[in-house]
Each structure stands twice: as structure tokens, then as C-alpha cells.
């Protein structure tokens, strides 16, 4: 078997094991939390008899292992279960909410990924000069601020003072695309600032590491311009670590949007998860957690596969 195919199959197998482990961990954590959906529905004044009846109706009185095996079997067959609080199929809610989250993540990625690579190339081109220092200083400042603070700062200036954008990102399926983009402009800006800094700094570091190679010195001795050396010779050989950091940040755009969605009341997966946690709707929490884990694991597998394919020693084994 070809070494590349062996490594890819190993990554896929490891990803499946991690996903099962993540599901077990999520289920275990929800079990040790105080209270349950029945208590959240009936309130603190509920009698023990009414709680017992509702728990039996919801199936919460069965052993945890039995419920976990049934739930995991449903996940494998594509059945995410039914929400305890409103009795609606979770899959329908997840499809709508996931579409909204992916819409937000897509536009943040479209802006942040090319901009981060471009700024990284510019920083390397003008290393230790004012463009490099300016870009590094601004990105370091954005890394230092928590995302909720960036969100509130942008809301204060662009929504409260200037009225350029809405403070709440409310969208609906029937809205025109331009209206949707205007509605999500601030959350997209927050996500872009958060992931842009990390990707730019890693791009800069990866290219500078390659610039120390002997073939780069050979290219410079041939009289090539600095930017051509960076773009044509250094950047392609630094693609593996850059892809890794891009994929990790793309996973964050889907998985780590909880705070941003809550701040802007955006109807995505993050808001859905927070609402389910407040209501102790365990099936919804588990479904959201597994989906987030699957997205993160899949994107990391993609990053590993790209890194493997970018390695010429694996593509052309002796």
C-alpha cells in the first residue's frame, strides 16, 4: 500500500476514535450536571411525584449507559433525537441553525484567509520595517482582546454612534443577500479580527523559517526580486504549516462562534446550544456538541492530509 494512503487511513481511523471518545465524554459531563430537563420544565417548586412522572415520560429514569448506547446508535443512523422541551426533531432545528452558522463562517473565512496570507507576505517582504511592525502590532492587539470585548467595541462605534450596522444580527431565509450581509457585518468583522491575527502571524513565521533554507539563498543569488523569491519559492514550501493553522481557524469559525452569536443574538448553532444548556435539554446539547466535535476533527484531518500531500518525500518514496 502507498505510504500516503496508509497515513490517510490512519488519520481517518484516529478521527473516528476521537469522535466516539468525544461523544462519551459529552454524555458523561451532561450526566454529572446538577438538575435535568424535568426539573427545568417544572421548576423548583415541583413535587417529587410530578418530577418522577415527567422523568419517566422523558425516559430520564433509565440507566445512563442504556440511554448513551441508544443515542449513539441514533447518531450513526442520522437520527439526532427529539428535543425534550418542545418535542421537535433536533435534526430539523440543527439543519436550519447550522446553515446560519456556516453562512456566518463562510463570509468571515472569505475575508480573513486571503487577507491573512497577504498580510503575512507583506510582513515578510518588509521584515523589521514599519509595515511589518505595524501589521504585527495591530494583530497582536487583536489577539490580546477577548472576542466579546471586540464585539462590544464595534457595536458601540458602528451601531450606537455611527449607525452603520445593526447591533443585532437578525436574518431570515427570505431576506435579500445584501440585507443579510449588512445584518451580519459586525459579527463577521469580529470573527475576522479574531482569526486574522493568528493566521497572519503563523504565515509570517512559516515563511521566515523557509527563508533560511539554502535554495532561497540560491534564488536570491540569481537576481530574483525579494517578493518573487517569497511568493514563488518560500510560500509554496511553507504551505503545510499555513494550511494547518488555516484549518484550525476555520474550525474555530464554526465551533467557536458561541460567544459572538450570543452577543449579537444570531440564530446559529452557538445560540441554539446556549438555549439548550439553560433549559437542560440534554439531547440538544449532545447533538450540538457532537456536531461541533465532528467539524473540528474533520477539518483537522483535512489539514493533516494536505500536509501529507505537500510532503514530496511521501509523494515520491524511494
Choice among 38-47, 61-70, 121-130, 234-243 with the minimum mean pLDDT = 38-47
Burial class (CB in 10 A: 0-12, 13-18, 19+), 98: middle
One DSSP character per residue, 76-95 reads HTT---B-TTT--BHHHHHH
Mean pLDDT of 279-287: 83
Asked if pLDDT for residue 56 goes beyond 60, the answer is: yes
pTM of the model: 0.81
For residue 37, what pLDDT band results from cuts at 50, 70 and 90?
low
- Closest C-alpha to 270, from 283, 252, 282, 249: 252
Confidence at residue 317, expressed as pLDDT on a 0 to 100 scale: 57
Confidence at residue 197, expressed as pLDDT on a 0 to 100 scale: 84
CA distance 76 to 62: 21
Confidence at residue 43, expressed as pLDDT on a 0 to 100 scale: 67
For residue 280, what pLDDT band results from cuts at 50, 70 and 90?
confident
Q: What are phi and psi of 261, to 5 degrees?
A: -65, -35
Mind spelling out the 3-state secondary structure of 187-209?
HHHHHHHHHHHHHHHHHHHHHHH
Confidence at residue 281, expressed as pLDDT on a 0 to 100 scale: 79
Domains of the chain: 90-315 (1.10.3720.10)
Length of the chain: 318
- What stretches of the chain show up as alpha helix (H) in DSSP? 3-32, 37-42, 48-58, 64-76, 90-125, 130-144, 147-154, 177-183, 185-210, 214-221, 226-229, 235-237, 239-255, 258-263, 269-278, 282-309, 312-315
Confidence at residue 1, expressed as pLDDT on a 0 to 100 scale: 63
- What stretches of 126-184 show up as alpha helix (H) in DSSP? 130-144, 147-154, 177-183
Asked if pLDDT for residue 277 goes beyond 60, the answer is: yes
Choice among 19-33, 53-67, 244-258 with the minimum mean pLDDT = 53-67
Confidence at residue 40, expressed as pLDDT on a 0 to 100 scale: 66
For residue 110, what pLDDT band results from cuts at 50, 70 and 90?
very high
**Residues 221-272 pLDDT 10s:** 777 777 778 777 777 777 777 888 888 888 888 887 888 888 898 888 888 8
For residue 196, what pLDDT band results from cuts at 50, 70 and 90?
confident
**Residues 5-18 pLDDT 10s:** 787 788 888 888 99
One DSSP character per residue, 255-273 reads HS-HHHHHHTT--SHHHHH
CA distance 44 to 39: 7
Asked if pLDDT for residue 315 goes beyond 70, the answer is: no
Average pLDDT, the chain: 82
Is the separation of the CB atoms in 105 and 256 below 8 Å? no
Distance of alpha carbon 159 from the chain centroid: 26
Asked if pLDDT for residue 313 goes beyond 70, the answer is: no
Amino acid at each position: 500500500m502507498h505510504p500516503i494512503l496508509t497515513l490517510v487511513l490512519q488519520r481517518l481511523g484516529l478521527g473516528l476514535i476521537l469522535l466516539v471518545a468525544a461523544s462519551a465524554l459529552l454524555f458523561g459531563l451532561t450526566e454529572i450536571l446538577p438538575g435535568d430537563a424535568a426539573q427545568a420544565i417544572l421548576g423548583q417548586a415541583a413535587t417529587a411525584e410530578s418530577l418522577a412522572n415527567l422523568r419517566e415520560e422523558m425516559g430520564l429514569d433509565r440507566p445512563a449507559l442504556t440511554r448513551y448506547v441508544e443515542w449513539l446508535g441514533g447518531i450513526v443512523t442520522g437520527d439526532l433525537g427529539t428535543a425534550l422541551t418542545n418535542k421537535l426533531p433536533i435534526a430539523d432545528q440543527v439543519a436550519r441553525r447550522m446553515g446560519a452558522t456556516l453562512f456566518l463562517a463562510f463570509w468571515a473565512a472569505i475575508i480573513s484567509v486571503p487577507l491573512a496570507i497577504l498580510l503575512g507576505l507583506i510582513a515578510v517582504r518588509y521584515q523589521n520595517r514599519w509595515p511589518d511592525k505595524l501589521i504585527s502590532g495591530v494583530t497582536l492587539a487583536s489577539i490580546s482582546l477577548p472576542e466579546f470585548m471586540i464585539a462590544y467595541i464595534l457595536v458601540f462605534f458602528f451601531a450606537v454612534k455611527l449607525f452603520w450596522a445593526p447591533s443585532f444580527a437578525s436574518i431570515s431565509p427570505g431576506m435579500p443577500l445584501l440585507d443579510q450581509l449588512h445584518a451580519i457585518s459586525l459579527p463577521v468583522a469580529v470573527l475576522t479580527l479574531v482569526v486574522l491575527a493568528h493566521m497572519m502571524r503563523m504565515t509570517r513565521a512559516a515563511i521566515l523559517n523557509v527563508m533560511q533554507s539554502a535554495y532561497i539563498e540560491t534564488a536570491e543569488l540569481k537576481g530574483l526580486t525579494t517578493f518573487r523569491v517569497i511568493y514563488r519559492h518560500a510560500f509554496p514550501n511553507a504551505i503545510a504549516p499555513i494550511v494547518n493553522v488555516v484549518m484550525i481557524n476555520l474550525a474555530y469559525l464554526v465551533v467557536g462562534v458561541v460567544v459572538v452569536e450570543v452577543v449579537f443574538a444570531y440564530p446559529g448553532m452557538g445560540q441554539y446550544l446556549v438555549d439548550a444548556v439553560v433549559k437542560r435539554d440534554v439531547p440538544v446539547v449532545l447533538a450540538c456538541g457532537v456536531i461541533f466535535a465532528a467539524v473540528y476533527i474533520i477539518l483537522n484531518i483535512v489539514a493533516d492530509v494536505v500536509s501529507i500531500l505537500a510532503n514530496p518525500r511521501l509523494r515520491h518514496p524511494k
